[in-house]
Amino acid sequence: MSRRRDEIEAERLLARALGPRGPELSCEQCFEALDRYVELELADADAAAAVPGMKAHLEGCPACDEDYRSLLAFLDREG
Amino acid sequence: MAMPTEATGASWDVRAAEDSDQLHARLSGGGPAREAAAVELHALLLKAARFEVGRRRGSLPHLRGDDRESLAQQSADDALMAVLAKLDQFRGESRFTTWAYKFALLEAGVKVRRRAWHGHEIPIEDEAWERLADAGAAVDQDVERRELIAALRTEIERSLSSRQREVLIAVALNDVPIDVLAERLGTTRGALYKTLHDARKKLRRALAERGLGLDADRIEGGR
């Protein structure tokens, strides 16, 4: 692995250990708001402002982030 | 062909939104119309579950096509039960179908992650320490980052409860999916994430007390 990739991996590890910036939703709150959040994103609206704490939670929770990416990808494909 | 709505852009059309509303209305009613609507909903959920299983097939290289289909079917069945049980919780903040799809994607995602980890041991602490040591070596010319990584290991061992340490090491350092860990520990994703959140907060505070230069909003971040 190149030195640059090692440094990126080190930063990723630190970010995962120390968590996201700012207040964040819980997993339950994230799931509750996920459909609205994704539709706002697909409509090019300011989803992060409409659902405070969602973006931080998605940065901190890999499982919820996967659910978010899946819904986004599915709706994007289905139209 | 239906026209795009102003609110949701070109890929979203009025007819699909109306269909979605009608599906919710039929499910909320009774009799044969409700049964037919449940069959229709199951087909939609199955489409979403197949999409998710297909997207994640790389994590299940040993699974045959009919096993993947079975996983998608189970996910759609479980999602249908969840959606019907929570129907009165739908508040209309999105299309009904979008709201329903998230249950199918969640069920399929969790099932795929658990299947992918089936029979695998959760990595032990030593592997996390190796990863931290590698991270420290990668930033050896950055004194502040090197000190931060060294202190991080110390504080993980010193400041966290054994449960917090276990969850943080598995999920944050060893990349164990939180659903997999939740299943092994007999708890939920939400409960484990709360433990992880509290552990991170403790670590940020402990590191800040050492003057390790983390941003203020990182230190105070919380729910």
pLDDT surpassing 60 at residue B11: no
Alpha carbon distances (Å) from B13 to A38, B1, B132? 16, 9, 50
Is A9 contained in some domain? no
Vertex B78 angle, CA B191 and B100, to 5°: 85
CB A5 within 8 A of CB A13: no
Domain count for chain A, please give it.
1
**Per-chain mean pLDDT for chain A:** 92
Say what the pLDDT of residue B105 is: 98
- What domains can you pick out in chain B, each with its CATH number? 11-117 (1.10.1740.10), 125-220 (1.10.10)
Backbone angle region of A25, left / alpha / beta, with phi > 0 → left and psi within -120 to 50 → alpha: beta
Of A23, A24, A67, the CB nearest to B105: A67
Average pLDDT over residues B49-66: 90
Of B9, B98, B105, the CB nearest to A70: B105
Say what the pLDDT of residue B188 is: 96
Say what the pLDDT of residue A76 is: 92
* Cα A5 to Cα B17: distance, rounded to the nearest angstrom: 45
Q: If pLDDT is split at 50, 70 and 90, which confidence band does A1 have?
A: low
ipTM, 2 dp: 0.92
Residues paired with B13 in a beta bridge: B4
Average pLDDT over residues B84-101: 96
Q: If pLDDT is split at 50, 70 and 90, which confidence band does B13 have?
A: low
Of A16, A24, A39, the CB nearest to B8: A39
Say what the pLDDT of residue B114 is: 93
Q: Which structure tokens are listed for B61?
A: 């290289």
CB B127 within 8 A of CB B68: no
* Cα B140 to Cα B161: distance, rounded to the nearest angstrom: 29
Q: Is the CB of B164 inside 8 Å of chain A's CB atoms?
A: no
Is A42 contained in some domain? yes
8-37 of B, contacting A, C-beta below 8 A: 8-9, 11-12
Is A31 contained in some domain? yes
B9·A61 Cβ contact <8 A: no
Instruction: Note if the pTM is more than 0.90.
Output: no
Domain that holds residue A32: 22-78
Is A36 contained in some domain? yes
Average pLDDT over residues B101-117: 96
26-45 of A, contacting B, C-beta below 8 A: 26-28, 31, 34-36, 38-39, 42-44
Q: Is the CB of A69 inside 8 Å of chain B's CB atoms?
A: no
